[in-house]
Structure 1
Amino acid sequence: MVISEKVTDHVREVDVLIAGGGTAGCILAGRLAQADPSMSILVVEGGRNNFNDPTVTNPAVFLSHLAPDSKSAIFYQGKRSDKLGGRAPIVPAGGILGGGSSINFMMYTRAQGVDFDSFKTDGWSQKDLLPLLKKLETFHGQDPSIDKSLHGYDGPIHVSDGGYRATRAEDEFLQVAASQNYPEIVDLQDLQQNNGFSRWQRYVSPDGKRQDTAHRYLHPLLQDGKHPNLHVLTQTKVERVLFDDHNRAVGVVVLPNKDHQPMTALSDQSRNSITAKKCVVVAAGALGTPQILERSGIGNSEYLTRLQIPVVAHVPGVGENYQDHHLCLLPYKTNLAPEETNDALLSGRLDFRKAIEEKNPILGWNSIDISSKLRPTEAEVISLGPEFQAAWEKDFKDEPSRPLMLMGVVSSFLGDPSLVAGGQYCTMGCYTAYPYSRGSIHITGKSVDDAPDFDTGFLNDKNDLDLKAQIWAYKRQRELFRRLSTYRGELELGHPKFPPNSPAALVSFEGGRNPEPSSTEERIKLLDIEYSAADDKAIEQYIRENVNTTWHSLGTCAMRPFQDRGVVDKDLNVYGVQGLKLCDLSIIPENVGANTNNTALLVGEKATEIMLRELTSKVENEVYDV
């Protein structure tokens, strides 16, 4: 059992080699090692070890990983797009052991059951996957109306509120939402319910610790002395997969990650080969995995030939079908108390180290207490135009559990705190559940350091359906916030620039004076804002200039039939070769109506089930002590 950034510390031949120590990869490694300690396993991770890193284990400082100088994330630069006001969006991905689960927002959100059924893949229906969804979690929801048969109670990942909530703001928001015909749903993660708001649980233990997969699946085995054949090589990039003369994967080529191991006269920057006797698994994420495959000679043969890469297998779906959830963050001023938002910690008014020393419970809070899955009314669908109505009738009307939009209430300002005055803010995050837009990612050269050709595809769908969904979401969320008694106006830098004297003009309560009327009960009676065509244009411009990633990349190596531009089959085998599987969100063929961490966890558990059946013929029923 070794975890080290030096390739010389590790064995050069293993049974199973996992290229990527992200969310799903850590699960696969831990589960395989637990099921068969004699099986030699090596995880190769490009980022650093996350063990007991306080910026990882303490949920409240999750935004630190998205800072421009972060060494915990990989920042992928997208291409400029006229659809985005000429912007070139940046999409972060996990760049540390545990991947996205080590740096994400920790929001417990399951896909809808129909999402899994839409894969149309044997073994991947909601009926097939529910046992694994239960297996991975220890659910701490206490409401007696929750159907316990839909949740797990002895899995590695604790799901709780982390011991801290801003209940006053939470209660009032749910009251206002109910007045606008969005009821409170006790368990929005039961795979079925929809069109309401819910009190959000998190991937945080009751004592306030993040539940990343490295800490929950991998580190316990690396430290217990019972798994000598489990190895983790960090700060090391996988250049390509090696194949024998029969197109069987037999290993990988690795080299140090220069971002973590700067080149010096004494450093070893050479490539090394590591052999896998039974299987190679690429688990580098939706943006990393297709690049490894293409450098290995798996992809569109025409494209690979142009780059002078020998073609091992012509699989044209590699790098295509990129999907994300499109996000708009809309901030508001409030009169909440300092302990009711996370702004003091994020702005430095509350010292992080001092908070750790004092064991401040706010460290266990991600400041996101309210979730939702929402659908427009029939009248709202019609108002969005005939093209939108046609898409709605095709994809949503007869699937009542499919939301159009996901919204989350964040009790803080999620931008650069130096841009706003000291105070307490709330932000509504609106992200499209099933965007129609598609992008792609491909390598531009043979080196791991060559920047990829990355087209996010944001808002590039025909008929602007994704844009129209965001316009609807902007209007709906604003009606909710302006009815709160804690509302003190929109934060101007995060909203559209409406025409002068428009009824939609932003509101400012100078000097902190109370809005009129001031009580929730009275504000609920406010009439909705009427938006003009010019107002709609202002909203469109704002969305194009500001819509961004939700850090939910998936789909670039889709699990589909080969003729449908699929890359892997139902058992995660890459088409055209042997002994090579994928294990990350790149295999998910269609988007899910949820934050994607839960689906990544699920992929790790499903891959384990598949590989144990194939490698050991074992049925693994053990769970971790929790």
Structure 2
Amino acid sequence: MAGLLPTSNATLFYRGVKEEKLANRELIVPSGGTLGGGSSINLLMYSRAQRDDFEAWGVPGWSTDELIPYMKKLETYVGPGSDAVHGYDGPIVVSEGTYRANRSTQDFIDAASQIGYPEIEDLSGLDFNNGVQRALHYIGTNGLRQGTAYGYVHPKIASASYPNLHVLVDSQVKRVTFQGKKASGVEYKPKSQPDSTLRIVKARKMVILSCGALGTPPVMERFGLGNPDVLKAAGIDVKIDLPGVGENYQDHHLMTYPYYTNLYPNETLDALISGRLNATEQIQQNASILGWNAQDVGCKLRPTDAEVAALGQAFQETWDKEYKDHPNKPLLLSALVNFFPADPSLVPEGQYLTSSVFTGYPLSRGSIHVTGPEIDDQLNFKTGFFSDPKEVDILKHVWAYKTQREIFRRMKAYRGEVESFHPAFLPGSGAALVKLDEAPSGDIPKIKYTAEDDEAIKDWLRKNVGTTWHSLGTCAMAPREEKGTVDCHLNVYGVEGLKIADMSIPPQNVAANTMNTAIVVGEKAADIIIKEMGL
């Protein structure tokens, strides 16, 4: 888990060391369902939560101002913005990388401005919203991908300064073990020996779960920490009644919309992905395009009052309650992506642009629970996507579809929508998809959508919504009586010596790619643990 590496010899990760040698270690950090840092969060899109997001958590010690030091600590920032919120000597480099498609970048920015969305210098500066920015990435200025394993763990494994640091990989954690109500270790199984006897690593003082929003609840439930009804149905004895475990699952609902363009082969990744550009040769030449994730613009956008009203009463009520008086909160997050987002054989050879779209604060909730006591027992996972009873989450995406399309229609590179990846509008509709030889010129009026057009969008959304892999919330940091699982010090209610430090703890969502928030959680957790351990 990023951040859980204090500058001492306390043992936090284990790799390839026999379990009998670990009996007296003090801390154990299962990560990603395995022991160690096997599932480092390693996405490339630099995106931060808004100031309002952390404030909405309402947890002592976790306000935005209290978390800014950890945001600064994690990064070496090579970009525009204020020194007050950015760091310049952290383990994770944030930069433009080594490549950018400048023509489509400026084209998109110009098109967005035509419908009222300006360019903002630092959209990740916590207090900025309703505009677009030239994207920064978790890519070093040398083109190397940045991630928590690369930035935090690997250097310490290679260093002679951390003799008690060990990482055990390719192992599945079954559950936490206890002596009475005190966590005493973890029970695990090497994946290379699926039929082998379970092994136990013991901890004298503390166990820290960092298995993520999908991994931590099952590890808890397999020992008997959770909702009694869930545990009894799974044949597991109830040790501690914690009804919030596995509930409150949240994700950002993702849609992607590709467009035909007149771009050149060096302005997208389509040639590389399709094999027209030889990847081996590019690697041998250390080509600068390899230091590019093809995501060149980021957006955080809000609708106008008229657009809110047009979405109906249910949407208006939600807007008035959650957004109207909170201008810091975007409704739509989007990225300009320079390639076709699926199997390249599905479309003619060419260069494509794609709109990647998700909404920041879904009302829908899901859950994840065990169905039995063993690692291999199937999990009962319900995403809950678009499940809010008034369908406000779908209405958000109806507006998102229309808004991103209006931006693309005004780009000079625009040559129409890729038909099989957009809603199927009725023949004769003013919203009908097009394929053009040249971009439209002059004053481009906005598309007028009918009720039938809106239904076509909704139908498309229901059939094609996907995950951003931004899972969170399943062991929420909240009062126990509000179905919380941990307190503000990350202690699991009802037991001793057990903490959770991962994206299962945020009680509310964030309007951002969640990598940054995950590392902030890790850094804050490390600080809490260091102080408690007296390190």
Match of 2:104 in 1: 169
Over the matched positions of the two proteins, sequence identity in percent amounts to 48
| Long gaps (5+) in structure 1 | 23-42, 46-95, 619-626
Look up the equivalent residue of 1:15 and give its one-letter code: E
- Summarize deviations over 1:136-191 as a string: whole Å, max 9, x none: 111001x4xx2221100111110001121111110111011111110000100111
One-letter amino acid matched to 1:124: W
Gap change, CA 1:357 and 1:430, over 3 Å in 2: same
Q: Tell me, yes or no, if structure 1 residue 18 matches structure 2 residue 29.
A: yes
Shift of residue 516 of structure 1? 4.1
Mapping 1:187-336, distance limit 5 Å:
187-245=122-180, 247-257=181-191, 261=192, 263=194, 269-336=196-263
Among candidates 266, 273, 285, match of residue 339 of structure 1: 266
Deviation sequence 1:293-329 (CA, Å, 0-9, x none): 0002100122212322122211000000000001110
Counting only pairs closer than 5 Å after superposition, residues 397-546 of structure 1 correspond to structure 2 as 397-509=324-436, 513-517=437-441, 522=442, 525-546=443-464
TM-score, normalised with respect to structure 1: 0.82
Structure 2: give runs of 5+ residues left out of the alignment: 1-10
Aligned to 1:100: 41
Match of 2:63 among 121, 125, 143: 125
3-state SS of paired residue (1:541): helix
Measured after TM superposition, the shift of residue 3 of structure 1 is 6.5
Q: Deviations over 1:531-570 (max 9, x none)?
A: 1111111111111111111110000000000000000000
- 1:211 Cα deviation after fit: 1.0
8 Å contact 1:10–1:233 — kept in the other structure? no
1:503, distance to aligned residue in structure 2 (A): 1.2
Q: Secondary structure at the match of 1:478?
A: helix
Aligned to 2:93, which of 155, 158, 173? 158
> What whole-Å deviation, never above 9, does each CA across 1:551-610 have from its counterpart, x for those lacking one?
100000000000000000000000010000001000000001111110001000000010
Q: Answer whether contact 1:108 1:203 (CA < 8 A) is retained.
A: yes
Give the AA of the match of 1:553: S
Asked if the contact 1:98–1:212 (Cα under 8 Å) also holds between the matched residues in 2, the reply is no
The answer to whether structure 1 residue 578 and structure 2 residue 496 are counterparts is yes
Instruction: Kindly report the root-mean-square deviation, in angstroms, between the aligned alpha carbons of the 2 structures.
Output: 1.6
1:329-382 residue CA offsets vs partner (Å, 9 max, x unmatched): 001011111111111122222233222111011111010010011100000000
Residues 175 and 220 of structure 2 are in contact (CA less than 8 Å); yes or no, is this contact kept in structure 1?
yes
| Secondary structure of 2:334's aligned partner | strand
Shift of 1:430: 1.1
- Mapped to 2, the partners of 1:396 and 1:411 lie a distance apart of 31
Residue in 1 that maps onto 2:5 = none
In 2, Cα distance between the equivalents of 1:297 and 1:354? 54
The one-letter code sitting in structure 2 at the alignment partner of 1:557 is: C
After superposing the two structures, state which structure 1 stretch, 459-468 or 339-348, moved more: 339-348
Distance 2:355 2:485 in 1: 36
Counterpart AA for 1:113: R
CA distance in 2, matches of 1:310, 1:7: 30
- Which residue of structure 1 lines up, in the alignment, with residue 290 of structure 2? 363
| Cα distance per residue 1:417-445 (max 9 Å; x no partner) | 22122211111011010000000000111
User: Could you give the per-residue CA deviations for residues 252-296 of structure 1, whole angstroms, max 9, x where no partner exists?
Assistant: 111012xxx265xxxx72210110111101100000000100002
Count residues with an aligned counterpart.
Answer: 524
Q: Verify: 1:111 aligned to 2:49, yes or no.
A: yes
Q: Which residue of 1 aligns with 2:485?
A: 567
TM-score by length of 2: 0.95
Per-residue deviation, 1:9: 9.2
Amino acid at match of 1:402: K
Contact 2:139 2:291 in 1 (8 A): yes
Counterpart secondary structure, 1:232: coil
